[in-house]
Amino acid sequence: MTYRFPSLNGLKAFEAAARHLSFKAAAAELGVTAGAVSQQVKRLEMSLGISLFRRMPQGLLLTREGAAYLPDVSRAFDVLTDATEAVAPALNGRKLSLGVDPLVADSLPNGWPRHSKELDPYVRETRTTDDVELIWSNELDALLLAAKTRHGSLSERAICANGTTASLYFVTRPGLAECRQSRAIIEALES
């Protein structure tokens, strides 16, 4: 069977930009530049023959077509994520071990993430550290850092935790970057 759909990178860029209503925030999530997100979305719009966003001075607005497209595209990515986790035993139901930079720990709500019931299904243990080598040695699955790492093939996502003004960085191996557990940790921080 032949499937007719546009570039997956374009769809990822659209879905992230639509959730954030910002190319800049989508770029931080995807680990690319805002210009790259904008170009991917523009190519997607050209391939579909419709505008998905209205570009405004203060940000983005979804067009009627973009608003109608977003829920289905998001669901499709959820289905792909679920399918991937179903066949990847390392990701299926696994709880992550999370390191938290001491500089970050002071700015998080007291007891987070240890006393966060919403993270119980996703976080096995936490420890206070900023040592990226613990990811390479498989002692940690992810780190929440105060500064960028620039460690080769690790996935690094800038996030803005609720109640803080500084960006934090969620760092993990690429295979865990988009898993349900990582997304739950990031969503808990941003909410």
For the chain, which ranges sit under pLDDT 50? none
Same domain (yes/no): 81, 122: no
pLDDT of residue 42: 97
Same domain (yes/no): 124, 172: yes
Pick from 77, 21, 13, 20: nearest CA to 44: 13
Domain assignment present for 2: no
For 22, the domain range is: 8-87
pLDDT of residue 52: 97
Domain assignment present for 3: no
Same domain (yes/no): 102, 181: yes
Domain assignment present for 1: no
pLDDT of residue 59: 84
Cα–Cα distance for residue pair 152/168, rounded to 1 Å: 18
Domain assignment present for 76: yes
Structure tokens at 115: 């006393």
Tens digit of each residue's pLDDT (9 = 90 or more) over 41-62: 999 999 999 999 999 988 899 9
CATH number, domain of 56, equals: 1.10.10.10
Domain assignment present for 165: yes
Q: Could you give the number of structural domains in the chain?
A: 2
pLDDT of residue 95: 81
